[in-house]
Amino acid sequence: MGHSAAVWDHRTAIEVTKDWNGIDQVVLRNPQGASARVSLHGGQVTSWRNEQGEELLFTSSKAIFKPPKAMRGGIPICFPQFGNCGSLEQHGFARNKLWTIDENSPPLPPNDSHGKSFVDLLLKPTEEDLKGWPHSYEFRLRISLAADGVLTLISRIRNINGRPFSFSFAYHTYLSVSDISEVRIEGLETLDYLDNLCQRERFTEQGDAITFESEVDRVYLSSSHLIAVLDHEKKRTFVIRKEGLPDIVVWNPWDKKSKAMADFGDEEYKQMLCVDGAAIEKPITLKPGEEWTGRLELSVVPSSFCSEYLDH
C-alpha cells in the first residue's frame, strides 16, 4: 500500500475537458475508479461517482447548463450570501462566476494531498463585481478525491480589502437518494433550527432523527462536525464531516414547490435531499489580511457501519 501511494501522481489523475458550452471542467479520478467532475462555471462539483460508477449527487433532468444561471444539482457554492438574506442575488454570486485553475495555490498540510487527486480553483472580483459587492477577496477552493473515494472541498477566503467585511456561506450539496420517504438524518437531534417556512422562526428539534413527509427548509444551528444521512432502500449512508461550518441546511421542496420550479422535475423531489455544511446564523467577519477556512468531507459507507462512525 505504501508503495502504491508513493508512486501515485495526482497530476495524471486529472483531466481538463470542455462541456457543451465550451466551459472548462476538471475530472478527478482515483486508482479504484471513483471520479468527480468540477465545472469552472461556479467552481461547482457536478458529479461524484463511486468505484462502481454510481452517481452519488443529484442533478435535475431539467437543469439548465447555461451561464450565468447556476445548475440545479451537484454542489453549488453559496457566497457571500446564503438564500435571500441580503441585498445580493439568491445564494450570492460565486456559483455564477467563471473560476480559474490556480496553479500557484499556497500549500495545504502534506497529509491532505496524500494519495489524492485534486484541483485548486481561484475566484477574485473584477472591477464590475466590486460595484455590486465592494470588497476585495481571494477565494481559493481545493476539491479532492481520495483513494477511498472521499470527496473533500476546502474553501479559503482571504480579505485583501482595506476594511472588514462579512459573509454567509454554504456548500449547497444535492445528495442522490432512492426515495425521500425512506431517508433519515442523524446527528441533528435536540438542536435549535430556523424554519424558513415560518419566517425563520426558531424551533428545537424534537425527533431522534429527521424524516421526511412534507416540504422541509431549515437551518440547524451549532451542529456537530459529523452528520449521517441514511438511505434505507440503498442500505448506504452519507457521512458528512465539516470544519468551520457551524450550521447545517436541510432542504427538500416536496411536490408543490417542485412543480413551480422551471429547472426541476415535478417528481424529482423524491430522489434528492440537500444537506449543506454552512455558516449562516452568525456571518463570518474577516479583518484586512484575515483568512477563513471551511472544510466539507463527504463519504459513503454501508448503513451497517453508520453507528460506529457516529460514535467516533
| Confidence band for 6, pLDDT divided at 50, 70 and 90 | very low
At 288 the three-state DSSP class reads coil
**Which of 285, 41, 56, 88 lies closest to 176 in space, CA to CA?**
56
| Grid cell digits, residue 43 | 467552481
The CATH number of the domain holding residue 280 is 2.70.98.10
| Confidence band for 112, pLDDT divided at 50, 70 and 90 | low
311 in a domain, yes or no? Answer: no
Is the pLDDT score of 294 beyond 80? yes
273 in a domain, yes or no? Answer: yes
150 in a domain, yes or no? Answer: yes
31 in a domain, yes or no? Answer: yes
Q: Decide: 267 and 254 in contact? Cβ < 8 Å.
A: no
Give the whole-angstrom CA distance, residue 236 versus residue 285.
38
Give the pLDDT score at 108.
67
More confident residue, 238 or 5: 238
Give the pLDDT score at 306.
52
Q: Decide: 158 and 286 in contact? Cβ < 8 Å.
A: yes
221 in a domain, yes or no? Answer: yes
Is the pLDDT score of 137 beyond 90? yes
Q: Are strands 174-176 and 165-171 parallel, antiparallel or unpaired?
A: unpaired
Distances (CA, A) of 92 to 42, 78, 85, 163, 215: 11, 6, 10, 20, 23
Is the pLDDT score of 310 beyond 60? no
Give the pLDDT score at 7.
46
251 in a domain, yes or no? Answer: yes
Give the pLDDT score at 2.
35
How large a percentage of the chain has pLDDT more than 70?
Answer: 89
Count CB-CB contacts under 10 A for residue 46.
21
Q: How many domains does the chain have?
A: 1
Distances (CA, A) of 182 to 169, 175, 234, 276: 29, 14, 9, 19
124 Cβ neighbours under 8 A, 6+ residues apart = 136, 137, 138, 139
| Grid cell digits, residue 298 | 463527504
Give the pLDDT score at 135.
95
Q: What is the pLDDT of residues 231-257, one digit of tens each?
A: 999 999 999 999 999 999 999 999 999
| Grid cell digits, residue 166 | 462579512
* Range ranked top by mean pLDDT from 3-7, 104-108, 143-147, 201-205: 201-205
Question: Annotated binding site, which residues?
Answer: 72, 90, 95
Give the whole-angstrom CA distance, residue 258 versus residue 76.
19
Is the pLDDT score of 312 beyond 50? no
Q: What is the pLDDT of residues 39-49, one digit of tens each?
A: 999 999 999 99
Give the whole-angstrom CA distance, residue 41 versus residue 288.
28
Question: Annotated binding site for substrate, which residues?
Answer: 72, 90, 95
Can you say whether the dihedral through the CA atoms of 299, 32, 272, 200 is positive or negative?
positive
Give the pLDDT score at 92.
81
179 in a domain, yes or no? Answer: yes
129 in a domain, yes or no? Answer: yes
Omega of the bond leading into 302 within 30 degrees of 0 (cis) = no
Q: Decide: 83 and 64 in contact? Cβ < 8 Å.
A: no
Q: What is the pLDDT of residues 78-100, one digit of tens each?
A: 999 998 776 677 778 899 999 99
Structural domain containing residue 213 = 8-306
